[in-house]
Amino acid sequence: MAQIATTPLSDLNVVKVEIPAVLQDAVRAPYALQPALSCDSLLVEINALNEALGPDLDVPHNPQNPSALERGASAVGNAATGAVKGAVEGAIPFRGWLRKLSGAERQTAKVAAAIAAGAVRRGFLKGQGQVLGCKPPAAPL
């Protein structure tokens, strides 16, 4: 509901979602290898990505920390919240133009690209961990 209340402000690009540094790094170089590649160095970066993105798809079910699939299913189940948000968004005249002119649409695209790059980077790093023989979460479970 808090997100719904700030919809007009985010449409005007007044309220922005800050992209974590680890995701900004992933956008710049999703397949970069660290100079001193080790299980410990992979673990540090994977943990940072987990902090920004939430648990990876291979993590067992945990009600306190749902996986990406569980969060997606939960989002689908929140139809009532979506309807309220749609009503608020629909009440803003020329919303599409406002988002485009204010830069909010571009910011939303940047956030989505950072999340995608972070997910790709995490998968890449886990693959490197598997090659090195690391234990999860520095390698797939």
**pTM score, two decimals?**
0.67
Rounded Cα distance, 107 and 99, in Å:
9
Q: How would you class 23 by CB atoms within 10 Å of its CB: exposed for 0-12, middle for 13-18, buried for 19 or more? A: buried
Give the model's pLDDT for residue 133.
97
Q: How far is CA 71 from CA 20, 29, 53, 75, in A?
A: 19, 27, 11, 6
What DSSP element (H or E) covers 46? helix 39-53
Grouped pLDDT means (10 residues each) for the chain, 141 residues: 45 68 97 92 96 89 64 50 45 56 74 94 97 95 88
